[in-house]
Each structure stands twice: as C-alpha cells, then as structure tokens.
Chains A and B, each alone.
Chain A
Amino acid sequence: MHVVYPAVVSALLFSIGVYGVLARRNTILVLMSVELMLNAVNLNLVVFDVWLRDRLHSGQVLTLFVIVIAAAEVGLGLAIILALYRNRRTVDLDRLRSLSDSTDPAPSGSSDPVPPGKTDPVPAGETDTRQGDAS
C-alpha cells in the first residue's frame, strides 16, 4: 500500500478535528475533535514508522506515548467540563465568554445566565471556583 493513502486519511482526520475544534459548540464534542486530531497524528506516526522501516520503531513507541497522554487529557478535560457544567449549567462554548472585554456590553452579559447564588446543586466548596471568571 502506498504511503499516500494513509497520509491522506490522516490529513482528512486532522482536518475534521480542526473543524470540530473551531466550529462545534458543545464542549464535549470539541474534546472529541481534539482526540481526532491526536489520532490523526498517531496514524501518521505509525505509517511513517512502517514506511521508513525504522529499526527502533520509535514511531510506534511515540504512538503509545500519545495514546497515554490522550487518555490523561481526556480524563482531565472531562473533569473540567463536568465542573463547568455544575457551575454554569451549560457546556455551550458560545455562552462561555468570561474572557471577553467586560465593558463590551453585548457578549459578556450572556455568559452567566444563572445569577450567582442560585446554582444550588453545587456543593458549597465548589462555588469558589467561579469567582475568578465571573468578573
């Protein structure tokens, strides 16, 4: 099999991932798109490892490495998303705009649909986390 085919597949996979990261609204799907990009890289690593006949198989070793890191990253990312959801009752990226310029009236107001103090399902200890970004 020519090396072009897997390379094209991995490029497509990476592009899909980029598109997902840039365009999706759901934070979980964005996380999944990141996984897609990582896997495109994995595919590339394996393909070129084979194509180059690397005696040490460093490509495959690196792939395992990436898989481990991706697993850790997903765990961390999901935890963040969970915390986000508990605080904001949403995982919609368009509505999470606490980073915006606060004097600009249009987008920043909508970032916090639930007035503070009414997000009761959250345990008391976790409410502190949003004090920084509410601004």
Chain B
Amino acid sequence: MITIASLVILLPFLAAAAGLLGSRFPRRPRSVTPPEAGDRTAPQPGASEPRTSEIDASEPGTSSVGTSRVALTPDADANRRAAWIAVVPTAISAALAIWLAYATWAAGRGGIESPAPAGPGAQGAIDGVSATFAVIETGSVPISVGLLVDGLAASIAVLVGVVALAVQVYSVGYMRGDRRYPSYSSFISLFTSAMLLVVYAADLLVLYVGWEIMGLCSYLLVGHWWEDRANSRAAIKAFLVTRIGDVGFLFGIFVLGTAAGSFRIADVIAKVPEMSSGTLIAATMLLLAGVAGKSAQVPLHVWLPDAMAGPTPISALIHAATMVAAGIFVVARLYPAFLGAQPTLDILAVLAALGMLGAALAALAQDDLKRVLAYSTISQLAYMAGALAAGSRSAAVFHLITHGAFKALLFLCAGAVIHAVGSNLMSMMGGLRRDLPVTFAAMTIGFAALVGLPPASGFFSKDEVLVAIERSLSSGSLTGAAALLLYGCALTTVAVTGAYATRAWLRTFFGQRAPQPHPLPELQPASGTPHAVQTAVPPAAYTAVHEAPATMRWPILVLAVPALLLGLVRVGDVHWGTAALGLAVALLGAGVVYAAWRSDSMRDPARLLGPFRAPCERAFYVDSLYAGLFVRPTLLLASLVARTDSRVVDGAVRGSGQATLGLARLVRLAQNGNAQLYITGLLAGVLLIAAWAVIFR
C-alpha cells in the first residue's frame, strides 16, 4: 500500500524531470521554423483567425524577447512529447490514488471520521497505514522520511490526482502552441507530486518539503507569461506573501516537533494531550500563519486574486482546487492539536468569518471573471476554515473535496469561455449559452454547486458546514461571540454567494454581448488586474465564438460529474432544516440579482451595491493598506540601505582610489621631463647620504 503511495508521488515527479530534461531532446534545426507569432497568448480568439491579426495583437508583449525569438519558437514535436510525458504518468498516478482510496475504504479505515466532540486526541487519531523509509539523524529530533495513508490522505489524494489529470489534459488544448509548454507541463507534474507528498507525508518536515515545492511551482506557474511585467509581479507577490506565512509554519512545526520529541505526525498527535496549553497555542498560532498564507485566509489572502495572472488551468489546479486546500488539509491533519488550543480556534473562526463575507462581497463587484472565481475561492476556503474552527473536521474536508471538484470545473469552464471570447472581462461576454452549450451546461453545474442548489455537491457540503457552525453556537467549542460572528457571516455569505454566482452566470451566458468591443487595454480596470489574456479582440473574431477543442471539453465534462454528484455520498447526513434555511438565503441573494438583471440586462447587477461598490471592487483596499503599511516602508528601508551601500561602503572604496590618484598627481609634478632636475635630485641624494655618513658614523 505504501509502495503504491510512493509510486503515486514519484510518477509525476519523474514526469517532471523527464519533461524538463527530455521533451526538447532531439532538437529540430532552428532555421527550418520561421518565428511564429501569436503563440504567446494561448487563448487565441478563434483558431481560424488569420495569423496577421494575432501578430499585431501579441507583438507588444513579445517584443521584449524579440532577439531570442528564433530559439524560442514553439517546437510542435517538443510540445507533443511533453504532453505525453505529462499526461500519462499523471493518469497512472490518479488511477493508483483512486485504487488506494478504494483499498483504504475497503479496509475499514475509510472516510473522514465523524465528529466526536470529546476532548483533544479523541478525534482524528491516526489509524492509517504508515511506513518509514529512512530516518535522518539531526542530532536532536530525527526526521523520518515516511508516508502515511489513511482515509483523509487517500480521499484528498484522489481529488489532487483527478484534478491534476483534468488540468493536464485541458492544458494540452489550452496551451497549444505556447513555446514554454514543456516546462509548463513539467511544473504541473512537479506540483502534483509535491501536493501528493504533502497529502501522504507521515512526517511534518517531509510535509514541509512538499509544501515549499508547491509554493515554488505556484510562483513559476503564475509567472508563466512573465514577459508581461504585471504577471511577474503577481508571481512575486504570491511567492512573498505565502512565504511570510511559511516562516510561521516552519516554526510551528519546530515547536510541535520539539514538544513531542518527534516530527512524525502520529507521534505528535499522540503526544498532544501531554503538551501544555501554552505550547499548543504557540504552535497552532504559528501553523495558522502558514495556513492563512497557503489557503489565502484573511490577513494573507491578497496574493490569490493577483495569482489569476497565470494561465487559467493553473488557476484551476493550484489556486482553486489543490494548493490552497493544503492549508485546510494541514489543519485537518493536525486537528487534535488545534482542538487543544481554544484561542487559536477562536482566531480561526474570526478570520474565517471576515474572509468569507469580505471575499464574497469583493467577488460581487469584480468584472474579471477569473477574479470573481478567485474571491469566491477565498470565501469558500473560509467556509472550510470556519467548519474547522467550529469543530467539525469532516464537514471541512468534505467541503474541501466538493469545492475542489466544482471550483476546478468552474475555472476550466472560465478558461473555455476566455478561450472563446479572448477576454477575461465579463463586460465583454454575454449571451454565450447558444455558442458554448457544453461549457454553459458544465458551468451551470459548477455555479449550482457553488451556490448550494440541491442536487449539486456543494449543497450537501455547505449544509454540513452550516450545521457544524450552528452546532458550535450551542456546544461552546468556540467563544460565544466568535461563534455568533461566524454563524452570522456564514449565513450572509450564503446569500452573497448566491448573488455573485448568479451575476457571473447571467453576465457570461445570458443577455447579449456588449455592442462594440473596445480594445482591451482601455477597458482594464484601474485596480490593475494582471490579465492573462492580453490579446485584443479583432472585430472579426468577435462573432466567431466557438466551443473549445476536445482536449479542453473532456476534462470539463469529466469534472462536471463529481461536481454534480459527489454530494450524494453523504445524502444521509443532511439536516433538512439548516439546508432549507441555507437554500432559502441563497435563493434570496440570487433572486435579488436576477431581479436587478431583469430590469436592465445590459447593466451590471453589481450596481445594487451602490456607493459600496468601489470598496468591494478594490477588495476593501486591503492591497492599498498593505502597500502603505508594509510595502512602502520596506521599499524605503531598502532604498536607504542601497543608498548607504553606494554612498558609504562603495564611497570608501571609491574614495581610497580617488585619494591614491590625487597623491599620485602630486608626485607626478616632479616628473616634468627635465633631465637636469633629475640629476639635481640625484646629487642632492648623494650629498645627503654623504653628509649623513660623515656626521653619524
């Protein structure tokens, strides 16, 4: 079983190595391929478009690498090889993960344990299969390189494997002709491997290794189109913000590990009852920093919307379904420790409450379809965090899995829409349901799941989360105020979720398209959304909207099935009262937006927010706040240091040089070319020596 698990992890890793090293291997002679323009922006507005229009469209972005273009022209063979190298191992890996999950369930270790609100340690004790391959002696606490397969790990691994496979297949179509496709697909493989390592890790430091590789891959993939300055900045932002959290995370691991005397997760959890509450609070608070960074929770959520600058499949894989779920997963993994630290849970609850409502409101005002989904992701992750804070791990993990499915589906659909329209902005869309019937159907399922409409998976998982939060009101696992805040925000967010999902759905697929498309750059909002798609839409392509190619359609269809049906496995656990309440609230939100849209289908229903709209669109100015509070002082300090370096340190070096030159100029005055002067000097020297010899001998 452990062998299978290690295979699941290793296969994508090997694929990444092979893809990076081998896919370009027999190189085509370069002179054969003329530079082919228009390949940088993968979602081309219609493949049937004449090439010339695309050259115009993408030339500004590519001019910065103009000199090296010939070497970078897409190598179709290399891309095809890279696609095979990427897809096949991921497929095998996903199949093995599914088999592993099946075996785990069959062995009776299955499922996500039902909540048992007893003391810490009672819930979530590890009873999976684990094995240690090697123990690294560090002098104090050894690191044991090992894997652990239990119900939690197996089910999340299935999610990761399936979504990664879908994304890999989808990318083949979406990134067709991209000249960096081989490295792109390799990074996805590497990412998949790292996430699976996080999921299966039996040791906290092994988990941390995967955790960091994911951060790296996220950076690399967000910045895939780095020729655009905004994209590379978004990548750096994502990297830095998550890194802030990771520092806390690492120290949290250290605190837990030294307190337990072992980094093995099972040992740590077994030792939790013996730890002092101070240790637990410190450790979980530090871990929470990492969780907030990776899962984009409130103080550190700012990177996620900007990370939408990456290609859409990346948004689906990393920033919706898997990587952001890693934070939630870690909390679930170490849940007994969190249960032992009451203040941490309270803080988690408050952060989740703020995050879910704030992000949902921000999603309501965005015009960029991908940013709507990004804020929605933050909001849904906050639901999971809320469920964890409320004491129900199973609800959180269930919502994590369903959310992974339907959010990946939504992102892939959004990618198909963007591919067809050539723009991220919803003001450029509308009336697409006739042109994109498959995407429309799939995305409707996704939105239904997001809102929580009954047959779709989101209904069941969100119901469980709401029930858990409701229960925390009475059970007292949270401080009263925090629980009340969480419950209120959760219910409000259900309504807002309904509203923004309806808005996005209506504005994308209904009504009619904006009368005259403007060139995109002028339409970009002032908030500086880093758009993945920079292709201006030529008017000819405007009407030629068509369904995405098969490699993109199939993953959408495959993901639509779990997004629709996954909830039915827990149909017995539905609390119909809470479910009805949630549904009613969601429909209320959706209805308000629908009414506004019906009255004037050309205008954005976000106008309902009134004066509140601008803050929502800017996500409550958190970015500006951080820019003022942290970024600018840091830059000031950096420039101060740089100036000190150039003035003081370099000044000393340059000054000594200048001083030497000045002295030399002084001495050079003697060197005036007059031989008689030299002889005079010689004679004076001789006289001096003679006098000295006479006087002092």
Contacts and interface: CB of A to CB of B under 8 A. Distances in A.
Interface of A: 18, 21-23, 30, 93-94, 96-101, 103-104, 106-108, 111
Interface of B: 668-669, 671-676, 679-680, 683
27 contacts: A18-B683, A21-B679, A22-B679, A22-B683, A23-B676, A93-B674, A93-B675, A93-B676, A94-B674, A97-B672, A98-B673, A99-B671, A99-B673, A99-B675, A100-B672, A100-B673, A101-B671, A101-B672, A101-B673, A103-B668, A104-B669, A104-B671, A104-B672, A107-B672, A107-B674, A108-B673, A111-B673
Nearest to B669: A104
Nearest to A98: B673
A100 B671 contact: yes
Contacts of A103: 668
B663 to A, nearest CB: 14
Nearest to A100: B673
A97 B680 CA distance: 16
A100 B671 CA distance: 5
Nearest to A18: B683
Given A30-B676, A111-B673, 10 more contacts: A18-B683, A21-B679, A23-B676, A96-B675, A97-B672, A98-B673, A99-B673, A100-B674, A101-B671, A101-B673
Q: What 10 A-B pairs are tightest by C-beta distance, nearest first?
A: A100-B673, A97-B673, A99-B673, A101-B671, A101-B668, A100-B672, A107-B672, A22-B680, A22-B676, A107-B673
Contacts of A30: 676
B254 to A, nearest CB: 63
A41 to B, nearest CB: 16
Contact of B668 (A23, A97, A104): A104
Contacts of A107: 672-674
Contacts of A104: 668-669, 671-672
Contacts of B672: 97, 100-101, 104, 106-107
Contacts of A97: 672-674
A98 B675 CA distance: 10
A6 B671 CA distance: 39
B668 to A, nearest CB: 5
A129 to B, nearest CB: 18
A28 B683 CA distance: 21
B666 to A, nearest CB: 12
Central interface residue in A18, A94, A98, A101, by most chain B CB within 10 Å: A101
Contacts of B683: 18, 22
B272 to A, nearest CB: 79
Contacts of B675: 93, 96, 99
A51 B671 CA distance: 45
A48 B626 CA distance: 100
B538 to A, nearest CB: 64
Contacts of A22: 676, 679-680, 683
A107 B669 CA distance: 10
A23 B674 CA distance: 11
Nearest to B664: A101
A31 to B, nearest CB: 13
A19 B676 CA distance: 10
A13 to B, nearest CB: 17
Contacts of A23: 676
A50 to B, nearest CB: 27
Nearest to B676: A22
B335 to A, nearest CB: 78
A97 B671 CA distance: 10
Contacts of A96: 673, 675
A97 B675 CA distance: 8
Nearest to B680: A22
Contacts of A100: 671-674
A21 B671 CA distance: 19
A103 B679 CA distance: 22
A101 to B, nearest CB: 5
A45 B673 CA distance: 35
Contacts of B669: 104
A106 B683 CA distance: 26
A106 B675 CA distance: 16
A18 B672 CA distance: 21
Contacts of B673: 96-101, 107-108, 111
Contacts of B674: 93-94, 97, 100, 107
B678 to A, nearest CB: 8
Contacts of A94: 674
Q: Which of A30, A93, A99, A106 has the most CB atoms of chain B within a 10 A radius of its CB?
A: A99
B493 to A, nearest CB: 78
Nearest to B668: A101
Among A93, A104, A108: residue with most chain B CB under 10 A: A104
Contacts of B676: 21-23, 30, 93
A22 B647 CA distance: 50
A7 to B, nearest CB: 17
Contacts of A99: 671, 673, 675
